[in-house]
Every structure is written in C-alpha cells, then in structure tokens.
C-alpha cells in the first residue's frame, strides 16, 4: 500500500513538473518571438512623433530584469533618468519631429512629473512641436500636458481641475470601541504619523502644516500652467473653485483646452504637423533603441546612489532602503578611484532610526574623500532627510516633500480587548524589567519613561546632525523641526535645502565640486536577486492583494494597508507623518 501511495505521489509530482515546464517553455517561446519581432520594428524613421504615455510606474531607480522570471512577469517600469535622457535625445534627433503626450493618468509623483515637464519645456526651445490628447484629463496629467502647444480631448471629456486635497483617517473611537489600541511615544507637535491613534479629529498643528504644503505645491503647479496657457494665477484659481473645466465645452471656453475631437481626427492633426504620415514611436520603444541614456566615453564617473523606499533594518532592495546594501555600495564607491563625486538621490519617507544612522555614518566617511551632493525626489522626509542633511549641497524640487524632523514609537496593546473577552495574561520574571512590555497588560509608567527617554535621545541626535550639516544652531533647527513637513520651496526659505533643482542640476554641481567637465554617471546600489525572490514577480503571487482590493475597494484597501504598516513598525521611527495622498 505504501509503495502504491509513493508511486501515485511520484507520478503526480512528475505530471505537475511537466505541466510547469510546458507552461514556462510556451511563455518563453512567446517572449522570444515577441522580442525578435520588436528588434525588426523598433526603428526611428523620418517624420517620427515620440508618444509619451506614463501609465506605467515611474521610479527614480528601476532595475533591468536580471533573470528570465523578471523578464517574463515583472510589470514594466520607467526609470526617471531614462525618460529625461530620451526627451533630451529626441530634442537633437532629426528623425523626431515632435512629441505627442497621450496619458490617461500619470503613475509618477508630483516632483517627478515636474522634472519631466521642465524637460519638455526645454524640448520646445528647438521649435519642435508638442501636442496632447486624452479621453479625460486628471489633474496631474493636465499639469504635464499643459506644456503642449495644443491640448485636445474627446468631445465627452473634460479636465479634473479643482485644486489639491489630502485626507486623514482617525482610529481613536475604533480603539475605544474594540479595546485594541496603539501606545504612542513621540517628540514633535507636528509628528502626526501617530495622531490618528490619539484623537478622533485633526489637530490645529497638523491642519496648519498640511494646508501650508498643499498651498505651496498648488501655487507651484498653477504658476507653471499659467505661463503655458497664457492665463493668470487668479484666473486659474477661479476655474478650480467653480470647476470651469469639468467638460470639454466650458474647458475650451476658458482656454484650458484647444479642441474636442476624436482620436482619428487627432491622428490627422499629427500628420499635418509632420507634413506627411506620422510614424509613431512609443517612449518605451524609443528607450529600447538606446535613447534612454546619454552616450559618453569619459573615464571619470559620478556615482548616483539611490535611496528609494521606506528605511528598514535589513538587506534592502529597489523597493526599500536597508543598511546592508547601502553600506556595501557606499564603500565600493569610496574605493573606486574613477568615481570622483557622488549624488545621493533620496526618495524616501524615512523609517527605522537605527538604519538611518548607520547609513549616515558611512556617508559621513565618504564625504571626507569625495564631494557629496543630495538630489531630493518626491520625498526626502524624516529619516530620508536624516541621511541627506550632511551633504555638501542639497537640491530639492519645489514640490518635494521634506523635513519631518521628528521621532516616534508605537506599540500595539490588546489589554482592554483581552479583558473584555475573558483572557488573562500572567507573567513570571527574574528581574524587575525582565518582561519589558506585554501587549496584554497596560503599559507601565517605567516602560513608558524608558521608551520616552530613547525617543528624546534620538530626537536630540537628529537635531544635532542637522545643525552640524546645515551650519545652524540647535535651537534654529528645533524651531523648524518638531516633525513638521515642508515642501522643497519652503525648505529653501528656512535653510533645510540649498538650491531648487532636479537631479541633472545636482549631477552638474557634483562635477563642479570634483573639478571635472568630462564624465559619465554610474548607478548604485547593485542589487542581485536570489532565485526565490524572483517568484515574487509571478502573477499568482499577488492574487491575495488583488482579491482584497476587489472586495474592499481601493480606498478601504489603502486604509487597511496603512493600519497594517503602522502596526508592523518596530523600534524608534523617523518616518513621514503618513502616506501623503494629494488629490
């Protein structure tokens, strides 16, 4: 019987293995056939229009697939520098006659979008055209598309132009009702990451900071739109207040759009611009032809060190910042004689204080040997600012979210819930503090005092780091700290950044500090995926997440993920107040 059972199990396993091999063989052949077809068709002919569609994720650092599984299953991502380089190459490419922006939505942050828009403004100086078309314009898409000479929409489309907003969730009443709460220890009256657990409404301090950075970002966006559309800021605010772009008719009347046409009519317009039949090449295909990089034979190098994602303790990869990969990369950069300067590109809301300090230390050593310039992306807040504060020069986009110099710790507590449902926890210890903390008992004053001491120590260290790096006094830093969030534009005024500019500006400054004029860039860290990690890209590995989104809806799913993230935080945190969802 045992022999028969083993035989059947062996046959079943073999059958499954054969099915998997057939499946992967079929997918591989399909992919190879597609790749060979692409090689034939991806060419830049005369009368070509570069079509920009940013529906795929735009990241500061997007890794190329390094194995067959990533190649087959990983969703396409753009690296910001590739987009910028492609537009620069298109500007000087005689075969590219113009650009067509065809987004429905933009999967990029506001600072990234602003960087791309600035590059499109530079593209127009050649005299080449830019047009835009969409079925409907989201606010961010309209901001990018407003750079175009002409903006078109479908007859039943419009523009979602209404100003910015941000929404916060508060859990105090929920905690009181169910007996599950988060114990909070913090420093910084603006450190509102934990405010949702302490009250059922927004504090005046938090409302003040949110209003401040929203208005700062909004003013930056509409000033750019005003220039492109030949309108005043006052006119644009009136349009936003009364939704005077909500459909194509009134949007055209208010000079927000230039025409309401169908896609075939838009294609005819492109043909007239190139004086013949327009050849369309997508941004992805144009990058694949090699136009996503600026060619250079220089021997001198500037390293771009990407700090992307939440700061956590551990190895790190392209989705989160870990001390292991960052420290390894920093030391390799330091030991490479061909690398003359470093640009630290930060796009992070912060995270674990310990990890941030370990990375800060390695950067401090590196800075003594090579110029260190920081370029801030969408976010460079809290721990993200901590690792940036001691650079020689700090660049930020006007719409960058930064600052948030504050510290907190959160610990879940179920003691009230446990009591309500009849659970009692008993402890046996050898010393007074052996137990430390139990989520099934109320937090003791002794434990609170010790944890608060740690929070205060980290906060003081944070302020001292910033004071030294920014040449400010402790009190000057404390006055603009307290966990408050600033935009890059505001941070420039209070001394937290040096210059408003993008990553190209930061790279040029690094070259200047290193006294080199001929150079090329090289990216770090260099991540290598384990075979096991590659399976995370498989479509069926994300089934649970997709099902939850469908069942709960996008907004409820986001609320669940935020609550989960907060409950998983361990140790003292330097983290942005919350996921800033600007609409």
d(CA 142, CA 104): 10
Sequence-distant (6+) residues with CB within 8 A of 49 are: 96, 97, 98, 99, 100, 270, 273, 274, 278, 279, 280, 281
Active site residue 382: yes
80-91 and 110-124 helices, crossing angle to 10°? 10
- Cα–Cα distance, 86 to 123 (Å, whole number): 11
Residue 191 a catalytic site member: yes
Q: In the beta sheet, which residues pair with residue 321?
A: 311
Cβ neighbours, 10 Å, residue 172: 16
The strands making up 150-153's β-sheet, listed across from edge to edge, are 259-260, 150-153, 129-134, 96-101, 48-52, 279-282
Please give the DSSP secondary-structure letter assigned to residue 67: S
Distance CA 525, CA 243 (A): 46
Given the residues 216, 382, 534, 537, select the one marked as catalytic: 382
Query: Residue 335: which H helix or E strand, with range?
Result: helix 323-335
Set 140, 191, 301, 489: catalytic member:
191
Q: Please report, to the nearest 10 degrees, the dihedral formed by the alpha carbons of residues 76, 77, 79, 85 taken in order.
A: 50
- Strands (DSSP E) found in 313-371: 320-321, 339-348, 350-352
| Cβ pair 523, 332 in contact under 8 A | no
The SS3 call for residue 216 is: helix
- C-alpha to C-alpha distance for 368 and 252, rounded to whole angstroms: 57
Q: Are 308 and 348 in contact (CB under 8 A)?
A: yes
Q: C-alpha distances in angstroms, 39 versus 32, 43, 47, 105, 435?
A: 11, 8, 20, 29, 64
Please list the active-site residues: 191, 382
């Amino acid at each position: 019987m045992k022999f028969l059972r083993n035989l059947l199990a062996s046959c079943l396993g073999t059958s499954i293995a054969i099915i998997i091999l057939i499946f992967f063989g079929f997918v591989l052949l399909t992919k190879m056939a597609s790749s060979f077809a692409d090689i034939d068709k991806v060419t830049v002919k005369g009368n070509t229009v570069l079509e920009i569609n940013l529906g795929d994720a735009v990241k500061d650092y997007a890794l190329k697939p390094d194995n067959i599984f990533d190649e087959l299953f990983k969703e396409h991502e753009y690296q910001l520098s590739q987009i910028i380089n492609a537009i620069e190459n298109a500007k000087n490419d005689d075969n590219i006659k113009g650009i067509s922006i065809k987004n429905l939505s933009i999967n990029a942050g506001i600072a990234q979008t602003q960087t791309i828009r600035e590059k499109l403004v530079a593209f127009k100086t050649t005299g080449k055209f830019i047009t835009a078309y969409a079925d409907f314009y989201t606010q961010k898409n309209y901001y990018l598309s407003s750079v175009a000479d002409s903006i078109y929409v479908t007859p039943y489309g419009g523009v979602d132009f209404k100003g910015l907003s941000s929404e916060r969730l508060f859990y105090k009443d929920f905690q009181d009702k169910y007996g599950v709460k988060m114990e909070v220890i913090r420093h910084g009256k603006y450190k509102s990451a934990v405010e949702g657990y302490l009250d059922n409404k927004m504090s005046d301090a938090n409302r003040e900071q949110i209003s401040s950075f929203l208005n700062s970002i909004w003013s930056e966006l509409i000033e750019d739109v005003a220039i492109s559309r030949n309108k005043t800021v006052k006119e644009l605010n009136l349009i936003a207040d009364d939704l005077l772009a909500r459909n194509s008719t009134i949007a055209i009347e208010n000079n927000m759009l230039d025409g309401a046409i169908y896609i075939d009519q838009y294609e005819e317009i492109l043909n007239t611009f190139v004086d013949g039949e327009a050849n369309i090449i997508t941004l992805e295909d144009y990058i694949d032809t090699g136009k996503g990089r600026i060619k250079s034979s220089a021997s001198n190098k500037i390293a771009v060190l990407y700090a992307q994602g939440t700061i956590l303790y551990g190895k790190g990869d392209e989705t989160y910042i870990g001390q292991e990969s960052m420290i390894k990369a920093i030391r390799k950069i330091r030991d490479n004689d061909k690398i003359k300067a470093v640009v630290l590109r930060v796009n992070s809301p912060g995270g674990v204080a310990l990890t941030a300090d370990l990375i800060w230390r390695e950067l401090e050593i590196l800075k003594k040997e090579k110029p260190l310039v920081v370029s801030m992306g969408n976010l460079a807040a809290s721990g993200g600012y901590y690792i940036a504060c001691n650079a020689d020069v700090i660049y930020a986009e006007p719409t960058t979210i930064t600052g948030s110099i504050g510290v907190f710790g959160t610990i879940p507590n179920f003691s009230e819930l446990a009591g309500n449902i009849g659970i009692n926890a008993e402890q046996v210890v050898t010393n007074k503090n052996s137990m430390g903390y139990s989520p099934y008992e109320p937090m003791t004053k002794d434990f609170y005092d010790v944890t608060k001491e740690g929070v205060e120590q980290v906060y003081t260290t944070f302020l001292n780091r910033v004071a030294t790096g920014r040449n400010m006094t402790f009190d000057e830093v404390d006055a603009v700290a307290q966990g408050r969030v600033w935009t890059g534009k505001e941070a420039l005024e209070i001394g937290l950044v040096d210059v408003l500019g993008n990553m190209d500006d930061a790279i040029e400054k690094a070259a200047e500090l290193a006294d080199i004029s001929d150079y090329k860039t090289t990216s770090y860290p260099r991540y290598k995926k384990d075979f096991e990690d590659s399976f995370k890209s498989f479509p069926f590995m994300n089934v649970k997440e997709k099902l939850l989104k469908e069942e709960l809806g996008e907004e409820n799913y986001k609320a669940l993920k935020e609550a989960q993230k907060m409950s998983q935080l361990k140790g003292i945190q330097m983290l942005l107040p919350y996921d800033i969802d600007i609409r």
